[in-house]
Amino acid sequence: MASFESRFNDYCTALEASGRRRTLGAAAAQAARPVIADFSHNDYLGFAHDPALIEAGHAMAQRYGVGSTGSRLLSGNLTPHVDLEQAIALAKGTEAALIFNSGYQANSSALAALLDAKVLGAEPLVFSDRLNHASLHHACQLMNVRQIRYRHNDMAHLRELLSAHHEEDRPKFIVAETVFGMDGDVLDMPALVALADEFDAFLYLDEAHATGVLGRSGYGLASGYMQRDGKSRGVAMGTFSKALGAAGAYVACSAAVREYLVNRCTGFIYSTAPSPAVIGAVSAAWERLPRMDAEREQLMRRAAQLRARLHESGFNTGTSNTHIIPLIVGTEEAALDLKAWLLKCGIVSSAIRPPTVPPHTARVRIALSLSHTDTQLEALCDALDRWKDREQR
Ligand SMILES: Cc1ncc(COP(=O)(O)O)c(C=O)c1O
């Protein structure tokens, strides 16, 4: 019988043959340094190296230690966790919040817990945007829930599907991102909320790429929407790993949902609480967001200018209307070629290929950050123009 290693190896060899083997790019990117600019990271506000945030993390580690030493239900429930949750709930306009070690963990375990048919009394119907993040699909798979997928950001299609299932006496969930991580477009919040109200559906919204960057005081697009007349509309999740420059995630929700998750969500119950250092940095970042309206406007203005320039050069940026700008080139080969070309020009970017994005929409993803300079943006445009020239020759 084949060894375990050879079976695992066969899997990767088959991927290699189809051109889809993934490799860790960090070493390559570092080898190519000094780079002129890095557009592959999600540090949208330039917080990851912010001295005041590093200091805040340091101070918290000095006071509470490097680790929280246990799950929140055992030894790990520290005042800074509770304080941060209260600050998040206040900002999001919800009764409560709960924090997690990562966005993937939050989605795959909190959404899974909420979809529990035994607790709901019937198997739920889950209406999902086709481009939702893998962690959201993972939760549905874990719970054996078949998703009813609507066309990306197409509220008319969602309405059609909700209407088609209206008569079914089953709890309904709508799951979507508020800024789509691979396309950089924004969810139509008012339209989605109106549908959720009309069809009495529970909202599960992922604000990973909106948190820090968009919405009221930068607290995400779902802020202010999650409660209606004292009644909860569902859950808004977001991460600390992107614009907040650190790691971890939150779920903003009603007090009842928080209580339920504390008792039912395995990714919360059986995981060591986030480290004090991370919580220190995140709390300082969270507190700073309301004072950054001008910076956020600047980021969006620069993104609009860059898109206009890229369109002039003949690039397809899809439906992007935020700081995330995909350069959709179609084939996987073209995406890899463009990424390699940019790297040769001293620019780090990410090639995103199926199955992460739909077939024939392979792309290079450009993520803008406040930390990018005009010179770096110029270097990016120049390198892209030269790639286009080479393509057209
Ligand atoms: C939309 C979305 N949700 C969740 C996650 C997972 O977040 P984290 O990296 O904190 O695990 C990501 C990160 O890639 C994401 O893009």
> How far is residue 62's CA from residue 67's CA, in Å, rounded to a whole number?
11
C-beta 181 within 6 A of ligand 1: yes
Reported confidence tier of residue 339, pLDDT bands at 50, 70, 90: very high
C-beta 132 within 6 A of ligand 1: no
Q: What is the mean pLDDT of residues 119-145?
A: 97
> How far is residue 187's CA from residue 220's CA, in Å, rounded to a whole number?
11
Of 138, 151, 143, 83, nearest to 119 by C-alpha is: 143
Give the per-residue pLDDT at 34: 65
Q: What is the mean pLDDT of residues 195-207?
A: 97
Element (H, E) at 80: helix 79-92
Report helix, strand or coil for 353.
coil
CB-based burial of residue 66 (10 Å sphere; 0-12 exposed, 13-18 middle, 19+ buried)? exposed
CA of 251 to the centre of ligand 1 (A): 13
Q: What is the 3-state secondary structure (H, E, C) of 295-340?
A: HHHHHHHHHHHHHHHHHHCCCCCCCCCCCEEEEEEECHHHHHHHHH
For residue 42, give both structure tokens.
């999600």
From the alpha carbon of 105, which atom of ligand 1 is closest?
A: 11
Q: What one-character DSSP code corresponds to residue 271?
A: S
- CATH architecture, domain defined by 28-44+323-392: Alpha-Beta Complex (3.90)
CA of 176 to the centre of ligand 1 (A): 13
> How far is residue 234's CA from residue 211's CA, in Å, rounded to a whole number?
17
Q: 51-290 adopts what CATH topology? A: Aspartate Aminotransferase; domain 2 (3.40.640)
Q: What is the mean pLDDT of residues 238-260?
A: 98
Q: What percent of the chain has pLDDT over 70?
A: 97
Give the per-residue pLDDT at 131: 95
C-beta 42 within 6 A of ligand 1: no
Could you read off the pLDDT of 348-385 as tens digits, one per residue?
999 999 988 999 999 999 999 999 999 999 999 999 99
C-beta 40 within 6 A of ligand 1: no
Q: Cβ(342)–Cβ(364) under 8 Å?
A: yes
Domain 28-44+323-392 matches domain 51-290 at the CATH topology level: no
Q: What is the mean pLDDT of the chain?
A: 95
> How far is residue 80's CA from residue 323's CA, in Å, rounded to a whole number?
31
Q: Does the pLDDT at position 169 exceed 70?
A: yes
Give the per-residue pLDDT at 238: 98
Q: What is the mean pLDDT of residues 277-283?
A: 98
Could you read off the pLDDT of 307-328 as tens digits, one per residue?
999 999 999 999 999 999 999 9
Q: What is the DSSP string of 200-256?
A: TPEEEEE-TTTTTTSBGGGSBTTTTTSEETTEE-EEEEEESSSTTSS--EEEEE-HH
Q: Does the pLDDT at position 170 exceed 90?
A: yes
Question: Which residue ranges make up each domain of the chain?
Answer: 28-44+323-392, 51-290
Report helix, strand or coil for 287.
helix
C-beta 339 within 6 A of ligand 1: no
Give the per-residue pLDDT at 26: 58
Give exposure, 1-19, as e/b (b: 16+ Cβ within 10 Å).
Answer: eeeeeeeeeeeeeeeeeee
Least confident of 3-7, 96-100, 228-232: 228-232
Give exposure, 274-308, as e/b (b: 16+ Cβ within 10 Å).
Answer: bbbbbbbbbbbbbebbeebeeebeebbebbeebbe
Q: Does the pLDDT at position 258 exceed 80?
A: yes
Q: Does the pLDDT at position 175 exceed 70?
A: yes
> How far is residue 379's CA from residue 368's CA, in Å, rounded to a whole number?
14
Least confident of 27-41, 45-59, 181-195: 27-41
Q: What is the mean pLDDT of residues 330-337?
A: 94
Q: Does the pLDDT at position 165 exceed 80?
A: yes
